[in-house]
Structure 1
Amino acid sequence: MKENFYIDDTDKRILKFLSVNTRMPFTEIAKKMNVSAGTIHVRVKKMEDAGVIRGTSLNIDYSILGYGFIVYVGILLTKSSKTQSVLEKLALIPNVTTANVISGKYNIYCKISAKDPQDAKNVIYKIDDIEDVLRTESMISLEESLNDQNRLMDALFL
């Protein structure tokens, strides 16, 4: 985000509408806010240019598609200078849905979505085979209890 970028109440309201439904038409937002669709378009463009809004995304329930076995994997590297190279190789494994560079015991922490334990094992073996991966530690998710991207925004824009 650009320094000195100011988000006013209109921008906050637009962000709230888009956080609930990223596909909401600007005309619908404009009607709810009693402003023109052009105003919404200009404000969204301004926030995109400033880096406040970065694209749009879908929230896909992979379990409905048969990929409900979730495993978190801590990855320890041979050298921390190899992090970018390993991240690039992780990006080639479709089951790896998130990867974070972290501090602490591991260099990278990722989430994989698999069909079942056997599928997860195969994905973990692919990760283990990446050059400069020293070892991995896997943790099976029993249940995702909290996954709400809007919680922080709601708190910030009260």
Structure 2
Amino acid sequence: MRGKEAVTPSRREGRGTATFSGMEEIDRRIVALLAADGRMSFTDLAKRTGLSVSAVHQRVRRLEKRGVIRGYTALIDYDAIGLPLTAFISIKPIDPAAPDDAPERLRHLAQIEACHSVAGDESYILKVRVPSPLALEELLQQIRAAANVSTRTIVVLSTPYEHRPPAIPIDEPPAEGDDAAG
């Protein structure tokens, strides 16, 4: 810094330098590619990024170690495995003075796919998958009893899309012939 002037990194400072988010542009590209296809091979990643296979491998392992890439998972057809009913359940403590420990109290319920802390009247929104309306009713009773909460439920009728990769801002792909040993 010169004087009181703040120096902010530009979005396009080269492939090996940090971008505004603190992550190198090439790492952002790798994360974007893996978010779209978690099974993409190191060879394909290398072709798409202009890096060598070993450089891509090192960068992916570093991203995993830093916790940027937290894991890989299979996308499931829930109808095919007998869990066709998806619902969102908003929960609110019955006693506002009670400890905020609902996520821990509900962790044992495998039907809860996700638990989000939210702003608003409710404290959390749960995404659940169950085989039937009766199973949803039973799950609601379990949630209310385990966490001492009131619930509000929204049943999903259809899902036009989900599991979309995040909109990771990245610069244009490297030009053909760029030397990037990474």
Residue 135 (1) aligns with residue 150 (2)? yes
Q: Distance between the aligned counterparts of 2:23 and 2:30, measured in 1?
A: 14
Partner residue in 1 for 2:164: 149
> Partner of 2:17 in structure 1?
none
C-alpha contact 1:96 1:111 (8 A) present in aligned 2: yes
Secondary structure in 1 matching 2:31: helix
Q: Larger % of helix: which?
A: 1
Partners of 2:135 and 2:69 lie apart in 1 by 35
Match of 2:120 in 1: 104
Shift of 1:105: 1.1
Aligned pair 1:82/2:81, yes or no? no
Q: Give how far 1:130 is off.
A: 1.2
Q: What SS class does the counterpart of residue 88 from structure 1 fall into?
A: helix
CA distance in 1, matches of 2:41, 2:99: 43
Q: 1:151 to 1:58 in 2, by over 3 A?
A: same
For 1:130, what is the secondary structure of its paired residue? helix
Please give the alpha-carbon distance, in whole angstroms, between the structure 2 residues aligned to 1:43 and 1:7.
10
Measured after TM superposition, the shift of residue 93 of structure 1 is 0.4
Structure number with higher relative contact order (C-alpha < 8 Å, ≥ 6 residues apart): 2
Matches within 5 A, 1:1-150: 5-8=22-25, 10-77=26-93, 78-79=95-96, 82-83=99-100, 85-131=101-147, 133-150=148-165
For 1:139, the aligned partner's letter is I
TM-score w.r.t. the length of structure 1 is 0.82
Q: Is the 8 A contact 2:86 2:129 kept in 1?
A: yes
Cα pair distance change 1:34/1:91, threshold 3 Å: same
* Greater displacement, 48-57 / 121-130: 48-57
SS at match of 1:152: coil
Equivalent pair of 1:5/1:50 in contact (CA under 8 Å): no
**CA deviation after TM superposition for structure 1 residue 43, in Å:** 1.3
Helix, strand or coil at the partner of 2:102: helix
TM-score by length of 2: 0.73
Point out the structure with max Rg over C-alpha.
2
Q: Note if contact 1:69-1:115 (Cα within 8 Å) is conserved in structure 2.
A: yes
Number of residue pairs the alignment of both structures matches:
151
Q: Is the 8 A contact 2:35 2:166 kept in 1?
A: no
The residue type equivalent to 2:99 in the other structure is K
Counting aligned pairs with the same residue, the percent is 22
8 Å contact kept, 1:67–1:114 = yes
In structure 1, stretches of 5+ residues that fail to align are none
SS of match in other structure, 1:82: coil
CA, structure 1 residues 110+94, in 2 after alignment: closer, same or farther (shift >3 Å)? Answer: same
